[in-house]
Homo-oligomer: A and B are copies of this chain.
């Protein structure tokens, strides 16, 4: 075995090198100790700073809620051909649409103007405007035509 051979051959040199390395190590250690003793306060402060910075980072990473980005994928479900309208109550509930708002929506879809709706429901034009505005907010649409389109698609109205 050539490796053992080399080891035994240059053992003196190796020992010497090892001794030197150890000495250097010791010196370094002593130097470090000296520095630490001399700057104990600063080192302590530094350690505290590092530790608490780390703690802060950890806290921030742990305690921030991930922003939930909800992507709604509309999946088409085919229904029986018997064109009988079944009101999608679940959808209405999830959107938080009230009875009155639904009435307004229905009349809208029939082509009524806000004024006509107000007359039919015996309330003021203001009220209908409020209802429709809330409706658009809840349905996430901008116009009555969009509301009608979406409502039909989601079976909120026939």
Contact = CB atoms under 8 A, between A and B. Distances in A.
A87 B77 CA distance: 12
A153 B9 CA distance: 84
A73 B143 CA distance: 25
Given A52-B56, A56-B60, A111-B148, A76 B73 contact: no
Given A56-B60, A57-B59, A111 B74 contact: no
Contacts of A143: 111, 113
Q: How many copies of the chain does the oligomer comprise?
A: 2
Residue of A73, A77, A79, A112 contacting most chain B CB atoms (<10 Å): A77
A71 B68 CA distance: 7
Interface string A71-95: 1111111111111000010000000
A77 B65 CA distance: 31
A145 B111 contact: yes
Interface of A: 45, 48-50, 52-61, 64-83, 88, 108-113, 141-150, 153-155
